[in-house]
A = this chain, B = another copy of it.
Amino acid sequence: MLKEHRTNVLLHGDPQGAEPLRKAIAAYLNLERGAKVYPEQILVLSSTRQSLFLCAQLLVDAGKPILLENPGYFGARKAFESAEARIVPIDVDEQGIRMALLRADRSGANCLYVTPSHQYPTGATLPLERRLELINWAAENGKWIIEDDYDSEFHYEGLPTACVQGLDKYQRTLYLGTFSKTLYPGLRIGYMALPHELVKAFTYARSIMDGHTPQILQLTLARFMEDGHYNSHVRAMRKLYAGRRAVLLRALGQHLGDVVTALRPEGGLQIPCLLAEGWSEEKTIRQAEAAGVQLAGLSRLYAGEQKRAGWILGYASLTDYEIETAVQRLASVLKR
């Protein structure tokens, strides 16, 4: 009842996110990812999943088309399918999304989902020229680019490329980031950096969906970032993961060189492997399973006919010894 009544910052949160955290995220993106973003453009959410759900709800009407990379991230496909959008796959090559196919698209889609840092699952990094071409395509045709910059914190070879958001002077890019990989998924904090004109609508939709993100977690994370701990943690983990990646690549070459060709993405936490002629994805996965090794198949990530057989191997949570053991066990069961 009383207007001057004390307010407790922990009691009620801003649906857009706690200001200190929005500031810390904007500073991080501008410094580390070459973004050009103000705290007013940041929307703090629970996860990339929630970001995708919001995009699907707000940008794509039921029955309307959405452009997705092929092969691509099943989480994105699931989010748009659950909003009853019509998936239009655009093939990628070893450099990422193929711009000629995008320019030729006549589906009427107003929105494209991409993973430019390292394409999921191929690991391709979209070169600067394609990024600029992509931005021009979006600006000229009034399209939205949903840039999922997942795992961009983990880049091992050469300099990371500036994110599409930072290059896009036309405000056509919705940038998606998360702390699920750099910290832990049970934290449930992700975020979007939005074009100015979308901030209000996305914030309102989020407030209807679930109000806001827990305040204690937001303010704790903001402090963790402000004090520099987050950057140190990412640096330490980058070094650790680079080591594990090297162990996995070496073990694959040594024990399974005749079975799979391991791709070498410049970053990320997964190694895609293409099976050699004569090896069945389904059968190798079944054999591995029986030997206690879980493999994720590559082919299910493709729409249409041009499926590639193989696996996508995550190594981030395994020690060097566990990685070596898993690959050896895999080789012995496959070559039995």
Contacts and interface: CB of A to CB of B under 8 A. Distances in A.
Interface in A14-59: 45-47, 49-50, 53
Most buried by B among A13, A208, A212, A289: A208
A323 B318 CA distance: 59
Contact of A186 (B3, B4, B214, B293): B214
Interface in A184-214: 184-188, 205, 208-214
How many copies altogether? 2
A332 interface: no
Interface residues of A, number: 50
Interface in A275-314: 289, 292-295, 313-314
A132 interface: no
Nearest to A12: B185
A127 B59 CA distance: 46
Contacts of A13: 185-186, 188
A239 to B, nearest CB: 21
29 contacts: A1-B293, A1-B294, A1-B295, A1-B326, A2-B292, A2-B293, A2-B318, A2-B326, A3-B293, A10-B186, A11-B185, A12-B185, A12-B186, A46-B214, A49-B208, A49-B209, A49-B210, A50-B210, A50-B211, A53-B208, A78-B208, A82-B208, A186-B214, A186-B215, A187-B216, A188-B211, A209-B209, A214-B214, A214-B217
